[in-house]
Structure 1
Amino acid sequence: MAIYFHEEDLPADALAPGAVAVDTETMGLITPRDRLCLLQISDGRGDEHLVRFAKDSSFDAPNLKAVLADPARTKLYHFARFDLAAIEYYLGVTAAPVFCTKIASKLTRTFTDRHGLKNIVSELLGEEISKQQQSSDWGAPVINDAQREYAASDVRYLHRLVEVFEERLAREGRRELAQACFDFLPTRARLDIAGWADKDIFSHEA
């Protein structure tokens, strides 16, 4: 298992075919304001690739964009809504089709409100991950080893989690419902970017 660090783009042929786990690190939680600093990606075979973007980046990244936009590759996320918005706003691609482990957890683990990645990795896989670097400065000139490990851990377990959630969604008869949610997520991300992040347009409220 290795963590590979790249500047501005993913090397060609860095990933094996198939689904890829994806996550992002930004300067904050407001997509148009808080720039994309790092994108993590893994093919689930033991290595993680971190792609760092500088403050003045053009976000060209043709190799990375080709993977993210590939309709034959499912992208695995935890809280896909945020990552999809960051990728679309800064990289200009819709990184779908989607499987979101946070939504899958909410649809199958209705006995708990513990749907964070740390919680579900611990409870479903028996692995422990640290969230200590979650709020660190991802725009710093140097991304330190602790940050790199944190970023890599956010994609390291997603393939295994998807296997668990596929079984549970089928068991509870909610696979079709989950897929409808996954299919809507790129649109939900566009609504966030366009200014409807905190407003439920489906609500009866005015």
Structure 2
Amino acid sequence: MPTIHYLTTADAIAAAATHFATLPRIGIDLEFDDMRYRYGRHLALIQVFDGQEVYLIDPLPLEPGMAAGLDPLFAVLRDPSVAKVFHSCKSDILLLDEVFGVNCRTIVDTSVQFSLLAAEDNNISLGRLIQSELGFEVDKGEQKSNWLKRPLTEAQKEYAANDVLYLFELTDRLADRLADMGRAQWAAEENQALEAVRYGRDEPRPWARNATKFKITPEEMPVFRELYKLRDTVARQLDRPPYHVISNDRLAELARQPIETANQLRAANGLHPELKRAPYADQLLAIGTTDLPGEAPLPADQRKFPFRRRLNGATANRAEARETLLLTLKAHLAADQGPVMANMVLSNRLIAEVVEQGAAGALRPWQQQLLKATAEKHGEDYELITAPFA
């Protein structure tokens, strides 16, 4: 294990950031709490590898001025001249955008590189990638630690260091393999696209994902929606994860059998005690006894694919013909390149987007190139799907 620097002051972080700014690349990872121990998403640790040593940057001692104390490091993350090597970075860059308004530049993601090899396991963990590429195992026992608890244990520090220590070796190996396969440009395009990833601050119906999972009916949806919103309000006030207030399973049960009387509320289990006190008790009872409005239709620009569900007649038939052609091309891709690559080029989501936006609007250049070559090989008309649907 190389030297590990544990930084807890703004001055130490600024000095380290000055060093990082002189490097061609850094390895980086974040530890954060995402609705596990507190409400919301909270940065707990930043790990950086400079090629020789590991820096564990603890942001918690900087509070309440965390953002200011980390600003020199954020400047490096925004600097396109310093490459940032991550593994599976989307959660990290979404947190940086959501909490601090930081958008990373020049990202290299080893999970993106590995996925473009189109191996059988396309969503590989860092531990498995290290084992596969480097031939040894690292201890992942601290993965679900409470990273907001202090002091950090030595086991946590070693785990955190391992998350960045092997990133350079991994990315270099994967880059060589991609170059041998003629896919280096594919990786460049996918990594470039990560710079545009942003946190979705205006999700119109955050309860919809849970409702789908628990098969909430349209009749049950108004109660489920209001319970979800009440749970979120209480969780935010308590600074606790929502599942500490009401579990998802219990939320679905209450949508199907709402609490309607004070006696039912007193006897109800699976509720945080705060829900049995004013003003939340009154709100909970109102949800169960009020004729709630249903879900209003979403504006057209917020509706999800497939968009042809809003079409009819000859227009719907043309949209369906585009989808049929894409499914045919996906089958050819699977036969020629394997099912993993076929799904990377034409997943169900991408098929729906190509139907509406056309291949030129929905796919990366490398995907378009591969799809066009496949169409030409099998005598299909690629031009039918290049432009947006009209």
The verdict on a shared fold, with TM-score over 0.5 as the criterion, is: yes
- Establish whether residue 102 from structure 1 lines up as the match of residue 111 from structure 2: yes
Matches of residues 26-175 of structure 1 in structure 2 within 5 Å? 26-28=32-34, 33-45=40-52, 47-54=53-60, 56-60=64-68, 61-113=70-122, 115-175=124-184
- AA partner of residue 144 (structure 1): T
TM-score w.r.t. length of structure 2? 0.48
Larger deviation, residues 98-107 vs 60-69:
60-69
The runs of 5 or more residues in structure 1 that have no matched partner are none
CA RMSD of aligned residues (A): 2.8
Relative CO higher for 1 or 2, CA cutoff 8 Å, sep ≥ 6? 1
| Deviations 1:65-106 (CA, angstroms, capped at 9, x unpaired) | 222121100100001111111222233321221110011111
CA distance in 2, matches of 1:137, 1:56: 20
Q: 1:79 to 1:73 in 2, by over 3 A?
A: same
> What's the CA shift for 1:129?
0.9
CA distance in 2, matches of 1:181, 1:114: 15
Greater percentage in helix: 2
| Deviations 1:31-52 (CA, angstroms, capped at 9, x unpaired) | x91111111111112x110111
- AA partner of residue 37 (structure 1): A
- AA partner of residue 36 (structure 1): L
Whether the 8 Å CA contact 2:41–2:95 is kept in 1: the answer is: no
Whether the 8 Å CA contact 1:21–1:77 is kept in 2: the answer is: yes
Larger deviation, residues 164-173 vs 81-90:
81-90
> What's the CA shift for 1:193?
5.2
- AA partner of residue 183 (structure 1): Q
Matches of residues 3-14 of structure 1 in structure 2 within 5 Å? 3-7=4-8, 9=10, 10-12=13-15, 13-14=18-19
- AA partner of residue 174 (structure 2): F
CA distance in 2, matches of 1:169, 1:118: 21
Whether the 8 Å CA contact 2:98–2:199 is kept in 1: the answer is: no
Larger deviation, residues 111-120 vs 8-17:
8-17
Whether the 8 Å CA contact 2:85–2:110 is kept in 1: the answer is: yes
Q: 1:192 to 1:160 in 2, by over 3 A?
A: farther
Bigger radius of gyration: 2
Whether the 8 Å CA contact 1:28–1:34 is kept in 2: the answer is: yes
Q: 1:63 to 1:124 in 2, by over 3 A?
A: same
- AA partner of residue 173 (structure 1): G
Larger deviation, residues 57-66 vs 9-18:
9-18
- AA partner of residue 83 (structure 1): D
Percent identity, aligned pairs only, is: 26
| Deviations 1:100-135 (CA, angstroms, capped at 9, x unpaired) | 001111111523346111111111112321111011
CA distance in 2, matches of 1:52, 1:172: 40
DSSP-derived class of the 1:204 partner:
helix
Greater percentage in strand: 1
- Equivalences, count: 203
DSSP-derived class of the 1:108 partner:
coil
